[in-house]
Structure 1
Amino acid sequence: MSTEVDPQYLLKESNREVERLQKQHAWFQRCLNNQIVFAPVDLNKDGLKVLDVGCADGILLRDLQKQVTPSSRLVGVDIMNSFMPPSPQVNITYQVYDVCEPPSRELSESFDFTHVRYVLPGCAKVGHQKAVDNLAATLAPGGWLQVQEMDLDYNRSEVGQATNDANRVFSGLFDQIGLGARFPSKLDKAFEAAGLVNVSIQNVEFPMGKRLGDDKAAQDSWEPFALTIPSVVETAKSLGADIPDSVYDNLAERFEKEVKEQGSLWRSFIIIGQKPE
């Protein structure tokens, strides 16, 4: 693994980010019945090559490793060197890569499946289209790209006020950094502009808190937000995002109370597309 120094992270507080990502992944896996791959990828293919962009400590790759053949090659990349394991694991290697840049020769046109989750908000300096272009460039002919990003609609009637307020803070932050809060709903067009075919976009719901029933699963669902919301609020305020003070007020506490007492639903877009053969 590289010894490069970490760049500045989008959120001001990154010390507990790996912990947050681990809890978030456990919650997602519970809600999705351990499904990771939504694209029609043959997981039984010998020598399957998989890239996870924004891999952090590799938790998703370690789970995916259980679903693929022993001959598969799994590669995790992240902009944050400190997030990644200090050494390779069985069939899993790690390296530093910033999706704002074109992939290296080693990463170019190499992978049967490239997975990305909640990474593109960090690509405001180049825009989501350039980031998608760079991701598409990692695919071998016939390979699939899968991107998961947040649905930040903050006027939803099926959730409580604190959930809508959390979405509004994320939306305001993304607008302020120039990415635009609605960019995830446009990613199917970005995939097509990058030359991908068989593109589709779907909305996936993740129950939270009381709606999950199981105490451990409920805790895994709200704890990532307990770690994230204060940092998102601090970042949005420091950047001057156009958000009323009433939205910020006690948001972390209100969100946790709402999710514990009545439950909630978090939504994501999942977009897939294939590089032509």
Structure 2
Amino acid sequence: MTSTAIKEKYVMRENEGELERLANHHEIISHYIGGLVLAPVDLSQPNLRILDSGTADGLWLRELKSSTAIENPHTYIGTDINESFFPFPPPRNLFFHVQSITRPWPDNWHGTFDYVHQRLTLPGAGPVPIATCVSNLARLVKPGGWVELMEADFTGSSSNGPAAKLFEKLMAKFLDTIGVGFTYARTLPSLLENAGLENVQHKSFVIEYGAACPDEALGAKGISHLLSTSVGMLAFLKGLPGKDVDGEISRLPETLDEELKSRGACFTMIAAWGQQREDGNGKYS
């Protein structure tokens, strides 16, 4: 096998694992928020343009498309920085585009979308101010269009067990280290308002993982997701200059697995959505 073939096989295997993790979490979140869309978007209107930023393989888009059967179908566009995630060939009326939230969006996309959806993607902003990323999303929606965001919140008091509390502590450290800040999810409503959007609303959701989830199969998927996340987080922390990961932290995947199976854990997600002004005069950075 050539080196190129070996690399492609490795990337495919890595992608399959990451997409499985994302699919598990997508199913969990969709269950707890009661569907796919929170913003009051009228999906019965024909020929809408819908964007999913940070789409991975477009699972959210594909499910939305399957659940919305109208005579004049919508146009669904998914963006991500990893082109290898995109399905090929793409389903009908689904289009994929390589795009980072930290980079300017195509000029001809400005003011063209009826609905922009983005979930668990803002940490990818890194050193770029998340306010800039949100303002750029607001620029994409037409007058009357909606922007919806959802992120994980690690700022509240926790009733979880010691392993899950350590997970929360490390996630907060991770978010601070990459420059987003661990309180960023609490700022979603103000970020949308500062981008010039109106009718801003927000809602918190408690997501149950492992034994805390009444649905055993869904709880097991939650365990798989959190363990994969903890392994990736530890790899990041170990890579920091001068960082010595001690025994308690290095054993986190093992102790978290045991705790999730015995008592489970609960974490909070915050969603916020806002509407572009009818005159289109939003505030953009």
Q: TM-score, normalised by structure 1?
A: 0.88
Query: Which residue of structure 1 lines up, in the alignment, with residue 75 of structure 2?
Result: 73
Cα distance per residue 1:161-197 (max 9 Å; x no partner): 2222111111101111221111111121111111111
Shift, 1:242, TM fit? 8.3
Tell me by how many angstroms 1:253 deviates: 1.5
Query: Which of 132, 135, 153 in structure 1 is aligned with 2:134?
Result: 132
Kindly indicate whether the alpha-carbon contact (under 8 Å) linking 1:103 and 1:137 is maintained by their aligned counterparts in 2: no
The one of 84, 87, 108 equivalent to 1:85 is 87
Does the Cα contact within 8 Å between 2:189 and 2:201 map onto a contact in 1?
yes
User: Does 139-148 or 206-215 show the bigger shift?
Assistant: 206-215
Runs of 4+ with deviation above 6 angstroms:
241-244
How does 1:144-223 map onto structure 2 within 5 Å? 144-153=146-155, 155-156=157-158, 158-223=159-224
Following superposition, the deviation at residue 214 of structure 1 comes to 2.8
1:248 aligns with 2:249: yes
The alpha-carbon deviation at position 154 of structure 1 amounts to 6.7
Question: What is aligned with 2:113?
Answer: 111
Return the offset for 1:136: 0.8
Partner of 2:10: none
Using the TM superposition, give the Cα deviation of residue 213 of structure 1 relative to its aligned residue in structure 2, in angstroms: 2.9
Contact 2:237 2:245 in 1 (8 A): no
d(CA) in 1 for partners of 2:89, 2:277: 34
Instruction: Measure, in 1, the Cα distance between the counterparts of 2:194 and 2:180.
Output: 17
Partner of 1:57: 57
Residue 244 of structure 1 and its aligned partner are, at CA, apart by: 7.5
Distance (Å, rounded) in 2 between the aligned partners of 1:68 and 1:105:
28
Task: Indicate if the aligned counterparts of 1:210 and 1:262 stay in contact, CA closer than 8 A.
Answer: yes
Gaps of 5+ in 2: 1-13, 279-285
* Amino acid paired to 2:171: F
SS of 2:67's partner is: coil
1:66 partner SS: helix
SS state of the match for residue 16, structure 1? Answer: helix
Aligned partners of 1:239, 1:121: CA distance in 2, in Å? 17
Residues 258 and 104 (structure 1), Cα distance of their counterparts in 2 relative to 1, 3 Å cut: same
Does the 8 Å CA contact 2:188/2:271 hold for their aligned counterparts? no
In the TM superposition, residue 141 of structure 1 has moved relative to its aligned partner by 0.9
CA contact (8 A) 1:136 1:196 kept: yes
Percentage of matched positions with identical amino acids? 29
CA contact (8 A) 1:176 1:240 kept: no
Q: Residue by residue, what CA displacement relative to the aligned partner does 1:53-109 show, whole Å, maximum 9, x if unpaired?
A: 010011111111123244111111101111111222122111111111121034321
Separation of aligned partners in 1, 2:266 and 2:238: 25
Contact 1:136 1:275 in 2 (8 A): yes
For 2:244 and 2:44, locate their aligned partners in 1 and report how far apart those are by CA, in whole Å: 48
Please give the alpha-carbon distance, in whole angstroms, between the structure 2 residues aligned to 1:256 and 1:23.
16
Structure 2 SS opposite 1:203: strand
* Cα 1:241–1:208 shift into 2, 3 Å: farther
2-structure distance, mates of 1:106, 1:92: 18
- Closer, same or farther in 2 for the Cα pair 1:133/1:104, shift >3 Å? same
Q: Which has the higher helix share?
A: 2
- Provide structure 1 residue ranges, at least 5 long, that are not aligned to the other structure: 1-12
Instruction: Give 1:249 deviation, angstroms.
Output: 3.4
**How many residues are matched?**
263
Judging changes above 3 Å, is the alpha-carbon distance between structure 1 residues 243 and 262 closer, same or farther for their aligned structure 2 residues? Answer: farther
- Whether 1:272 and 2:273 are equivalent positions in the alignment is yes
Query: The residue matched to 1:102 in structure 2 has which SS?
Result: coil
